[in-house]
Amino acid sequence: MSRLGEARRVVVKIGSALLVEQATGRLDHDWLDTLIDDVAELRAGGAEVVIVSSGAIALGRGTLGLPRHRAKLEESQAAAAVGQVTLAHAYQRSLARHGLVAAQVLLTLNDTEERRRYLNARNTLTTLIQKGAVPVINENDTVATSEIRYGDNDRLAARVTSMVSADTLVLLSDVDGLYTASPESDPDAALVPEVHAITAEIEAMAGKPVSGVGTGGMVTKLEAARIALGAGANMAIASGRVAHPLRRILQDGPSTWFLGSGSPVAERKRWIAGALVPVGRLMVDDGAVEALDKGRSLLPAGVSRIEGHFARGDTVSILAPSGVEIARGLVAYDREDAERIAGRRSGEIETILGWRGRDEMVHRDDLVLIRS
Ligand SMILES: Nc1ncnc2c1ncn2[C@@H]1O[C@H](COP(=O)(O)OP(=O)(O)O)[C@@H](O)[C@H]1O
Ligand SMILES: N[C@@H](CCC(=O)OP(=O)(O)O)C(=O)O
């Protein structure tokens, strides 16, 4: 079976140049339908699919009568506001043919970098996936100023891959994959089928050229690969210039696979254990120690004392009654709220806080045991 066939959670990124006909500025519905047929096929095979789609600016530009090149930032943002409506509607229509529900999610760089927003976005996305909807994500172009913009959806898609712990990222582009040199300028350039590490040699292959309506080029695709591999996912670049582009990858058509060594969950846990400095401490009772050893989440009921100042999403140490640190994790509540619900049953959270938070103080996906 192909690597894509084995994937369980896949993020697919679609570049503007694929969806929007350059000459007319129109959305290519026929092509989109073939792509969505493939998405339905992947889902029928048991995979969950998240879409990251560009195209809002290219679609809105024509409607507002803006030039293709050298539009000002605020003009592009205005174009995105118009084009995003068309884009979301196109996905909604195409997915509905398979009885699938589209969910529009617009993110900025802050949402994937600032811990609180990151957790909120992650919770929303995982809820959508669990409910069977297909998230269709784009950058929130209208609100983002240059400092808080991604500017390219390749890296946004890689951050989303990490955020939802997807095992596979597919970047559909106008080329079959990474070539030894830019295929536009070098007729001898050859497709690289597999990349195991992003070395200086690989970096040298990516030039800076950019297609007519896109903004990325190969450089941002390599940056995306670095993020995806760091999150334990594999990444493919393949052409979307064909009907049924995902089926083509499933049938081992031309592509470049960037192959990582870890698994998404293992990488995430390594990040929690190693890269983050705990800012608070949760003392837990013996029952909680036992539950954590069995791989369960930490519930408020098992927390007996709290120290330090932390906000939702911060890293905390979890200490056994003996004072030994047994785990680390991302806490789901601010210190003040954590204190109010400590020692209480999860069913009481809503009555105590006045709003319904998570049942867990630290969810098991956000928790790593640090003693053997
Ligand atoms: N080594 C390379 N291999 C493949 N494509 C390259 C390479 N170097 C530069 N490119 C250029 O990158 C383009 C793909 O990036 P881009 O146009 O940004 O796609 P998208 O719109 O899908 O993000 C190719 O069409 C090609 O012109
Ligand atoms: N957010 C922008 C797309 C930015 C982008 O990365 O474009 P592309 O290089 O075509 O994938 C839009 O929707 O127009």
CATH classification at residue 283 = 2.30.130.10
- Do residues 214 and 322 both lie within one domain? no
Whether residues 285 and 252 share a domain: the answer is no
Assign residue 132 the CATH number of its domain: 3.40.1160.10
Query: Can you tell me the distance from the alpha carbon of 123 to that of 197, in angstroms, rounded to the nearest whole number?
Result: 31
Residue 20 lies in a domain: yes
Query: 117 or 192, which is more confident?
Result: 192
Residues 309 and 188 occupy one common structural domain:
no
Q: How far apart are CA 214 and CA 204, in angstroms?
A: 21
Where among 264, 292, 308 does a domain terminate? 264
Least reliable range by pLDDT among 27-31, 203-207, 246-250, 265-269: 265-269
Exposure class string for 233-262: b at 16+ Cβ within 10 A, else e = bbbbbbbbebebbbbbbbeebebbbbebee
Indicate if 70 and 142 belong to the same structural domain. yes
- What does the DSSP assignment read for 245-298? HHHHHHTT-S-EEE--SS-HHHHHHHIIIII----EEEEE-HHHHHHHHTTPPB
- Are residues 156 and 137 in contact, defined by beta-carbon separation less than 8 angstroms? yes
Residue 221 has pLDDT above 80, yes or no: yes
Which residues form ligand 1's pocket by a CB distance below 6 Å? 15-17, 154, 173-175, 178-179, 181-184, 205-207, 209-211, 214, 216-218
Task: Output the residue whose Cα is nearest ligand 1's atom 22.
Answer: 173
Answer yes or no: is pLDDT of 265 > 70. Answer: yes
Question: What Å distances lie between residue 15 and 76, 118, 172, 175, 216, CA to CA?
Answer: 16, 24, 7, 11, 9
Other Cβ atoms less than 10 A from the Cβ of 296: the count is 15
Annotation-wise, does 85 bind a ligand?
Answer: no
- Same domain? For 241 and 319 the reply is no
Return the best residue to mutate from 14, 16, 19, 173 for the ligand 1 pocket (most ligand atoms within 8 A of CB). Answer: 173
Determine whether the annotation assigns residue 286 to a binding site: no
Residue 87 domain-assigned (yes or no)? yes
Is residue 105 a part of any domain in this protein? yes
**Cβ(250)–Cβ(4) below 8 Å:** yes
According to the model, what pLDDT value does residue 33 have? Answer: 98
State whether 226 and 324 are in the same domain.
no
Same domain assignment for residues 58 and 178: yes
| Residue ID of nearest Cα to ligand 1 atom 15 | 217
Mean pLDDT, the chain, integer? 91
Last residue of a domain, one of 264, 285, 307: 264
Least confident residue range of 124-133, 141-150, 279-288:
141-150
Is 208 marked as binding a ligand? no
Beta bridge partners of 134: 102
Measure the CA–CA gap between 2 and 234, rounded to whole angstroms. Answer: 13
- Of 102-106, 128-132, 148-152, the poorest mean pLDDT is in 148-152
Distance CA 30, CA 94 (A): 9
Residue 49 is assigned to a structural domain of this protein: yes
ipTM over 0.90: yes
Q: Do residues 27 and 59 touch, judged by C-beta distance below 8 A?
A: yes
Residues 193 and 317 in one domain: no
124 is in an annotated binding site: no
Q: Report pLDDT digits (tens) over 305-337.
A: 999 999 998 999 999 998 989 999 999 999 999
In a domain, 206, yes or no: yes
Name the closest-CA residue to atom 17, ligand 1. 211
Sign of CA dihedral 277, 327, 115, 351: negative
- pLDDT at 188 > cutoff 60: yes
Separation between Cα atoms, residue 9 and residue 294, nearest integer Å = 25
Any domain includes 269: no
Find the domain containing 153 and state its range. 3-264
44 and 170 in a common domain: yes
Q: How many structural domains comprise the chain?
A: 2
Let me know whether 39 and 133 are in one domain. yes
Distance, CA of 260 to chain centre:
16
Mean pLDDT of 245-258: 97
Secondary structure (3-state) at 82: helix
- Give the residue from 204, 235, 264 where a domain finishes: 264
- Please calculate the CA angle 292-294-299 and round it to the nearest 5 degrees: 40
In this structure, is residue 270 part of a structural domain? no
In contact, 361 and 316? CB cutoff 8 Å:
no
Same domain, 142 and 98: yes
Name the phi and psi angles at 355, rounded to 5: -150, 160
3-state secondary structure of 136: strand
Distance (angstroms) between ligand 1 centre and the Cα of 218 equals: 5
Rounded to whole angstroms, the Cα distance separating 329 from 292 reads 11
Strand bridging mode 280-284 / 315-319: parallel
How many Cβ atoms are within 10 Å of 107's Cβ, its own excluded? 22
Q: Which atom of ligand 2 is nearest to the CA of 210?
A: 9
Task: Give the rounded percent of residues in the chain with a pLDDT score beyond 90.
Answer: 68
Same domain, 236 and 360: no
136: in domain: yes
